[in-house]
Amino acid sequence: MRQFFRILFEGAAQAWQQLMANKLRSFLSLLGITIGIFCIIGVKSAVNSLEDNIRGSLAKLGNDVIYLDKFSWAEDPGANYWKWMRRPNFVYTEFETLKEKLKNASEIGFWQFIGTKTLKWRSSSVENAVFISVTEDCANLFRLEFIGDGRYFSSAEYTNGSDVCIIGYALADGLFGENIEALDKMVTVGGRKLKVIGVIQKSGKDLLKVSDFDNAVLISHTLARRGFNIRATGPWVGNTSMGVRAKPGVDLEVMKDEITGVLRAERRLRPREETNFALNTLTILSGLFDSLFRVINMAGFVIGIFALVVGMFSVANIMFVSVKERTNIIGIKMALGAKRWFILLEILFEAVVLCVVGGALGLLFIWIITEIITKLIDFDIHLSMTNVLIGVLTSIVVGILSGLIPASQASSMDPVEAIRK
């Protein structure tokens, strides 16, 4: 054990001497290690942070909901644009049929994008407020959270089509500011007054805004049919969608088959006719992002490997020079009884220390950059302890590989010949 610690101490001391003896040469040699670790761990940290953020966004809505739309999320909408656009919109009667006939569904929602309008309160106004009509179950499907005493539509308000609305955080802030309570205020849209019964919580720092209602005005579909032009058309205006949450324990594929059967029958599609709607789940988006993250990780890994190989040869070159300069000292140590494995481990440890220093610099740069980015764009990019350990272990492996040949050369010297040099 004493010999082991002696090897560690002497290896670290020699490594430090090499760094200080020729600072420029050492810096250039370690630069490859630093860049390699920076690329591999930096990209991995960024991807992990993005992945955590996006998966958190998807998890908010749950993985037990099937979304009915014109097009499949797994395909490029632009590739078959006209095919998707020729498909019919979902209509309210189809929603009612699903509510009546689906046996495995716990919640069914229907919503329609009515368009953008100007929302007013006294002298304040906000343009481009997105009006969406919703049904009773949409609160649970969207996992809506309200500020303070805000709430969703009551059964009576929905049934009667009462003049009430729910607004997003950005709209409330634009109309009332931070110091005025939005609840029970009367806002105006197109000459119609609506009472605010709820303000939806701010969407937060999610990159994937799967449930971003910051600029939305939610009204009951009953009110929309009575007091708004739901037949208007335009880019996304008039588009309708539905969501179905399966009962606990019900497989989503079983739920999809049931929805497909009921809706095809409602639309009177013949057996050989193509289904003119799509059933989507959040697992589709998750799969698409998994593929993207794998590509980004692989790109960072390949760039990092090239940099590490360059750095490995640079460190090996330093070690060859170090061994040559210390040939006489190595010969004396061996003549005094130092074992060959002792010399081998000493040189190997020296190479490892040099690579760990380079890797540590790379990790330091990553930490500094992640802190700067987090503060500049208000998005949390973190350097996890797992990634730090991966960086350190990678540096150690590179150090062993770069020092193996120089260490073997040093340990195989003839003591007499080495002393003469």
Per-residue confidence in pLDDT tens, the chain, 421 aa: 566 566 556 656 665 665 566 666 667 777 878 888 888 888 888 888 877 777 777 666 677 889 998 888 777 766 777 777 788 889 999 999 999 999 999 999 999 988 889 999 988 899 989 999 999 999 988 888 899 899 999 999 999 999 999 999 999 999 988 777 889 999 999 888 999 999 998 876 665 555 678 899 999 999 988 877 666 555 556 788 999 999 999 999 999 999 999 999 999 999 888 899 999 888 777 777 777 778 877 887 888 788 788 878 888 887 787 777 776 776 777 776 667 777 777 778 878 888 888 889 989 998 998 888 888 876 777 888 888 998 899 888 988 888 888 878 777 776 666 666 5
User: Given this model, what pLDDT does residue 142 score?
Assistant: 87
**Residue corresponding to tokens 């205006």:** 237
User: Which residues are paired to 198 by β-bridges?
Assistant: 166
d(CA 300, CA 14): 33
Question: Which is nearest to 286 in space by CA: 48, 64, 74?
Answer: 74
User: Which residues are paired to 241 by β-bridges?
Assistant: 111
Helix/strand/coil for 90 = coil
User: Given this model, what pLDDT does residue 153 score?
Assistant: 95
- CA dist 261 → 95, 105, 124, 135, 277 (Å): 14, 14, 49, 23, 12
- CA dist 69 → 134, 230, 244, 278 (Å): 15, 18, 12, 5
**Residue corresponding to tokens 């999809």:** 256
Q: Which residues does 323 contact at the CB level (< 8 Å), separation at least 6?
A: 330, 347, 406, 409, 410
User: Given this model, what pLDDT does residue 205 score?
Assistant: 61
- Phi-psi bin for 236: left (phi > 0), alpha (psi -120 to 50), beta? left
In this structure, the number of other CB atoms found within 10 A of the CB of residue 288 comes to 12
How wide is the angle at C-alpha 228 spanned by C-alphas 223 and 231, nearest 5°?
A: 115
Q: Is 136 exposed, middle or buried (0-12, 13-18, 19+ CB in 10 A)?
A: buried
Tell me how far the alpha carbon of residue 268 is from its chain's centroid. 41
d(CA 46, CA 380): 9
User: Given this model, what pLDDT does residue 1 score?
Assistant: 58
Query: Token digits for 173?
Result: 């802030």
d(CA 51, CA 104): 32
User: Given this model, what pLDDT does residue 12 score?
Assistant: 60
User: Given this model, what pLDDT does residue 324 score?
Assistant: 77
d(CA 168, CA 130): 10
